[in-house]
Copies of this chain bind each other. A is one copy, B any other.
Amino acid sequence: MLAVTILGNNSAVPAFDRHPTSQVVTLDGENFLVDCGEGTQIQMINYKIRRSRISHIFISHLHGDHYFGLIGLINSFSLLSHQQELHVFGPAPLQEIIEIQLRVADTRLCFPLHFHTISGPATLVDNERIEIKCFPTHHRIECYGFSFREKKKPRKLILESVKENNIPLSFYERLKDGEDFVTTSGQVIKNEWVTIEAPKGKFYAFCADTKYNEAMIEHIKDADMIYHETTYLDNLRERAEDRFHSTSKQAALIAQKANVKKLLIGHFSSKYDTLEEFETEAREVFLNTELALEGVAYKV
């Protein structure tokens, strides 16, 4: 199951008990952390996110509200004797920023830490379970969104039919891959008689900080769910434009044009103490919109 848990949904400065950007994408028990604003490790404790399950961290850009919590999290991993390899993906200067802070503290990490500098649209992770890509957004500084595509699972056996046809156990894996079975007498047992197709893998995209940007659409097209920033309501469209951010309506327009199934909105400005209007405005354009609320897990 692919799901997203919001740890921080505010922009720039913490306010009204809302925290800077961070979210955890979960696939079958593995946690991928997306952005890591200050206090993310405390939010993880609050919401019982298992830090030990995190092997990959993706940082969209180097505005502080998206990464100031990273050094603290890495430091805590080490103090808590984390063993697993950690892969950190982010714009170029991130490695230097982290390394200088480890160096001055004379910190020797007890786990391997690998930095991966991201640029352009690129595939960052590709294994049998998931494909993770980055794509550029249109922000004041270099910034990337991330897409998470769950791989299609193997076909499922219809055990009753498999047994009826006397297919040996040793052939089960090949059945799951879609092969037909040929009996010793030369009879062909068609794969579709004994298996059913697994559901399609889910597709989620985190669109990071950006002004209204149709160039992004090709990277998120037909997603099951996207997270798009809505720093301002639509009456502050000019301010949004000036600051390379989006309004609720613009986020909804992107969701509509990209033909996604569901839109999560977040990255709210600290100007706003309540959030309902963001949802109302976005729904006028794209009905299946939800506020990204801290501590809530959204199933993709």
> Which residues of A are interface residues toward B (Cβ below 8 A)?
12-15, 19, 38-39, 41-42, 45, 62-65, 68-69, 71-72, 75-76, 79-80, 91, 93, 96-97, 100-101, 104-107, 140-141
Contacts and interface: CB of A to CB of B under 8 A. Distances in A.
Given A64-B75, A71-B68, A76-B13, A97 B93 contact: no
A180 B205 CA distance: 79
Contacts of A62: 101, 104-105
Nearest to A45: B14
A266 to B, nearest CB: 18
A107 B45 CA distance: 31
28 contacts: A12-B76, A12-B79, A13-B41, A13-B80, A14-B41, A15-B45, A38-B42, A38-B69, A39-B39, A39-B42, A62-B104, A62-B105, A64-B71, A64-B72, A64-B75, A64-B101, A64-B107, A65-B75, A68-B71, A68-B75, A68-B101, A93-B104, A96-B100, A97-B101, A97-B104, A100-B100, A105-B141, A106-B140
Contacts of A42: 14, 19, 38-39
Nearest to A73: B38
Given A14-B42, A100-B100, 7 more contacts: A62-B105, A63-B105, A64-B107, A68-B71, A68-B72, A68-B75, A97-B101
Nearest to A69: B38
A38 B104 CA distance: 17
A139 to B, nearest CB: 11
Contacts of A14: 41-42, 45, 76
Nearest to A102: B64
Contacts of A38: 38-39, 41-42, 68-69, 72
Q: Top 8 closest A-B pairs, CB basis?
A: A38-B72, A93-B104, A39-B39, A13-B76, A64-B75, A62-B104, A68-B72, A12-B79
A62 B104 CA distance: 7
Nearest to A19: B42
Contacts of A39: 38-39, 42
Contacts of A69: 38
Nearest to A42: B14
Nearest to A74: B64
A71 B80 CA distance: 24
